[in-house]
């Protein structure tokens, strides 16, 4: 099915039916652009080269780089960046690093204001509103991730294993893959049954996940050429409903 034949309501119906949807890059590009260009995309993607080490995982012998930002949005109107704050997940959701406040380096201001990122945020707000029309305001967190794969140590996109994030909805958007194999996303029911799997391979390939209904995980990535750098770059956007704007 081409991008032109996948309206938002059809995509929303997939998420309602199975708890997730895999969206190809061509379809995602059409959904984001809405007749406009993805202005600033090259600068946006290049910002993954500026990510800071995830010192929390480094303490456990794992290698990941990231930046973090928090936004808020009403059902319509401006999407506003909030002051920098920690990322927190309960131990129930993150068995590896739950119940602690994790302070990551903030997303750069010029990236938070990047036109491509703003299109992504607007799409998410409008799409998740189709799934949850009664929500009046959203708490939004953005995570820029670079998972590094090394000769002696595969990269782990989800070191906590198959999990939920403890939010309402999640977008996982591939920015780039360089010299890696695997990285397959799996979706699971609460009893552990696998409901589907797919691999984000092209920039703008995406997963839309109803985090309240399904669990997700990603298999480890390994270098294709062990002598060269290898990494997987993704943007993760989470939406959690708030009681008021």
Condensed to tens digits (0 to 9), the pLDDT of residues 102-151 reads 788 999 999 999 999 999 999 999 999 999 999 999 999 999 999 999 88
Is pLDDT above 60 for 211? yes
Query: What's the pTM?
Result: 0.91
Instruction: Give pLDDT tens digits for 57-75.
Output: 755 545 789 999 999 999 8
DSSP string, 139-162: EEEEEEEEEE-BTTB-B-S-TT-S
Mean pLDDT over each residue of the chain, to the nearest integer: 89
Complete DSSP assignment for 180-220: EEE-EEEEE-TTS-EEEEEE--STT-EEEEETTT-EEEE--
Tens-digit pLDDT profile for residues 82-99: 999 996 655 565 555 545
3 has a pLDDT exceeding 50: no
Are 235 and 173 spatial neighbours (Cβ–Cβ below 8 Å)?
A: yes
Go through the domains of the chain in sequence order and give each one's CATH number. Answer: 3-164+186-242 (2.60.120.620)
Q: What is the pLDDT of residue 209?
A: 98
pLDDT score, position 63:
76
pLDDT score for 61: 45
């Amino acid at each position: 099915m081409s991008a032109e034949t996948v309206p938002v309501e059809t995509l929303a119906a997939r998420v309602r039916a199975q708890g997730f949807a895999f969206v190809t890059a061509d379809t995602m590009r059409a959904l984001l652009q809405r007749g406009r260009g993805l202005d600033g995309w090259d600068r946006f993607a290049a910002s993954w080269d500026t990510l800071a080490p995830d010192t929390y995982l480094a303490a456990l012998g794992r290698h990941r780089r990231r930046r973090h930002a928090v936004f808020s949005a009403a059902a319509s109107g401006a999407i506003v960046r909030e002051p920098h704050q920690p990322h927190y997940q309960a131990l129930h959701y993150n068995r590896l690093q739950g119940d602690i406040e994790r302070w990551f380096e903030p997303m750069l201001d010029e990236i938070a204001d990047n036109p491509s990122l703003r299109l992504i945020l607007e799409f998410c707000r409008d799409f998740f509103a189709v799934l949850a029309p009664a929500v009046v305001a959203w708490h939004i967190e953005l995570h820029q991730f670079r998972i590094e794969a090394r000769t002696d140590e595969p990269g782990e996109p989800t070191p906590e294993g198959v999990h939920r994030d403890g939010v309402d909805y999640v977008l996982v958007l591939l920015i780039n893959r360089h010299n890696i194999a695997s990285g397959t996303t799996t979706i699971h029911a609460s009893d552990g049954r696998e409901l589907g799997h797919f691999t984000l391979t092209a920039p703008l390939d995406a997963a839309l996940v109803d985090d309240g209904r399904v669990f997700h995980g990603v298999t480890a990535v390994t270098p294709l050429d062990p002598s060269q750098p290898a990494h997987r770059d993704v943007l993760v956007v989470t939406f959690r409903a708030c009681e008021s704007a």
